[in-house]
Structure 1
Amino acid sequence: MTTTSTLADGVLYLTLTGDLIGSPDTQQLLDSVNDYLGDAVTNCAVDLSGIRYINSTGIGVLVSLLTKFRSRGGEMVLINPADHPRKMLALTKLSNIFTVAADQADARQQFTTAAS
């Protein structure tokens, strides 16, 4: 899995590609997010359109990230999950927990709505 991150308007945008299945990649992702949390970032948008496969460990990482941001009074939005991640979120009933946006603009709107 590869991860790219950008920070814009106080929102951390993560783009993930490959397979979200654990291994050292997920620990690097969590460490990277922790570094940004030190910069008082409270909102995160995770683009899952490039994730081919996700397992229970990957789902656990997403839940961990959601918990990190919500515990700081922020929110996390998933952007355009690919087919397999979308099915896994539905199967685990986590689609009721995560906010899903179509694109970055929609994600920004979700943060604005959540702040109101």
Structure 2
Amino acid sequence: MATAGERLKVRSADGAAIIDLPSEVDATTETVLRDAYVEAAAATRTIAFNFGGVEYINSTGIAVIVGILARARADGHVVRAFGLSDHYREIFEITRLSDFMAIFPSESSALGPR
């Protein structure tokens, strides 16, 4: 789990910045997740979140994601997500987070034609 003082991996692929999320997205990862967004946003307009390793997201984690989506929208960035478990995909659909970021089953599909 990433904690304060650590950094999340931000990598580049096909003109997008990919943020590999930690296993837990909660209050302990808020700062590193926001910092990763800032790093990614400085590099490109398209940002993809890799949820493949995420095992737990609590309400604070959802709030952090919502905040990043709002900032991305204001900044004119495109946000995509991939690797969500069926459970979290359903939560993102119920909470309508999927209205603000496209959700894909894999990295290759998320980085496909824009």
* TM category, shorter: 0.7 to 0.9
Pairs aligned (count)? 109
Q: Which runs of 5+ in 1 are unaligned?
A: none
Counterpart of 2:55 in 1: which secondary structure?
strand
Which residue identity lines up with residue 17 of structure 1 in the other structure?
Answer: P
Counterpart of 1:71 in 2: which secondary structure?
helix
Partners of 1:93 and 1:36 in 2: CA distance: 24
* TM-score (normalizing by structure 1): 0.77
Q: Which runs of 5+ in 2 are unaligned?
A: 3-7
* Match of residue 30, structure 1, among 34, 48, 64: 34
**What is the root-mean-square deviation of aligned Cα atoms in Å?**
2.0
Partners of 1:101 and 1:80 in 2: CA distance: 7
Partners of 2:97 and 2:42 in 1: CA distance: 27
* TM-score (normalizing by structure 2): 0.78
- The question of whether the paired residues in 2 share the 8 Å contact of 1:52 and 1:85 is answered with no
Q: Structure 1: which 4+ aligned runs deviate by more than 3 Å?
A: none
Counterpart of 1:50 in 2: which secondary structure?
coil
- The question of whether the paired residues in 1 share the 8 Å contact of 2:9 and 2:19 is answered with yes
Partners of 1:99 and 1:79 in 2: CA distance: 9
1:59/1:99 CA distance change after superposition, 3 Å:
same
Counterpart of 2:54 in 1: which secondary structure?
strand
Higher-strand-fraction structure: 1
